[in-house]
């Protein structure tokens, strides 16, 4: 659906004199492409492919064929551990997040390849221990070192704690209020 200028002005609460862009100008791309954002991952993990795997029983007889869409780990695929029938272990079915988690097991190789290609390595591919150390170093450098490292903070400095419960919720006060209600409304005689 094409929006007229009037709709655009109303939708974004701007006036016609605030519009700077030429009518024929192209809208600039606000985000980088998917392929560009996964360039670092493609150094270790292949692009998505469809692969047919044969399923065999204990005797080695073919039971069926399974077609899966996923990615190969280029490092695991070359290992003898995943040779032959075990190659399915080097085939990853997950999305980008799962593949980046797998790259954590190949982190040194990942860093080397990123350096060669002059690509910034992503924090999602970094093993958790290394990432926590890096964050702690950054916090220390910024002067925000927390007691116990980088953990969940507390609201102790924001919220004040009361020593006693509110007076209207004490058992004696509640009992007195209920007794007064019964006597004043004469609830007992109504129920009988």
Query: Tens digit of pLDDT per residue, the chain (192 long)?
Result: 444 444 444 444 455 555 555 555 566 556 667 777 888 888 999 888 898 888 888 888 888 888 889 998 989 888 888 877 778 888 888 888 899 999 999 999 999 999 999 988 888 899 999 999 988 888 888 775 555 555 566 666 666 666 555 666 778 888 888 888 877 776 655 555
Burial of 184 (C-beta count, 10 Å sphere; 0-12/13-18/19+): exposed
Is residue 127, in this structure, part of any structural domain at all?
yes
pLDDT at 168: 63
pLDDT at 3: 46
Q: What is the model's pTM?
A: 0.55
Phi, psi of 63 (to 5 degrees): -95, -40
Is residue 54, in this structure, part of any structural domain at all?
yes
Domain that holds residue 110: 35-141
pLDDT at 39: 86
pLDDT at 104: 92
Phi, psi of 71 (to 5 degrees): -135, 150
Number of C-alpha atoms within 13 angstroms, CB side, residue 178?
7
**8 A C-beta contact, residue 77 and residue 92:** no
Is residue 6, in this structure, part of any structural domain at all?
no
pLDDT at 15: 53
Is residue 97, in this structure, part of any structural domain at all?
yes
Cα–Cα distance for residue pair 126/105, rounded to 1 Å: 9
Is residue 164, in this structure, part of any structural domain at all?
no
Total domains in the fold of the chain: 1
Cα–Cα distance for residue pair 184/171, rounded to 1 Å: 20
Is residue 60, in this structure, part of any structural domain at all?
yes
């Amino acid at each position: 659906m094409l929006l007229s200028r009037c709709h655009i002005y109303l939708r974004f609460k701007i006036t016609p004199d605030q519009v700077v862009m030429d009518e024929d100008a192209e809208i600039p791309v606000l985000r980088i492409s998917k392929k560009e954002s996964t360039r670092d991952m493609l150094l270790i993990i292949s692009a998505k492919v469809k692969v047919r795997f044969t399923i065999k029983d204990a005797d080695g007889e073919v039971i069926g064929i399974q077609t899966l869409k996923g990615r190969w780990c280029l490092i695991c695929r070359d290992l003898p551990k995943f040779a032959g029938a075990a190659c399915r272990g080097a085939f990853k079915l997950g999305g980008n997040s799962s593949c980046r988690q797998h790259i954590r097991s190949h982190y040194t190789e990942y860093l080397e390849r990123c350096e060669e290609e002059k690509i910034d390595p992503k924090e999602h591919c970094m093993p958790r221990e290394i990432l926590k150390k890096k964050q702690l170093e950054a916090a220390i450098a910024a002067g925000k070192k927390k007691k116990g490292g980088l953990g969940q903070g507390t609201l102790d400095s924001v919220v004040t704690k009361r020593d006693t419960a509110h007076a209207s919720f004490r058992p004696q006060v509640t009992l007195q209020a209920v007794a007064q209600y019964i006597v004043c409304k004469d609830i007992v005689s109504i129920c009988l």
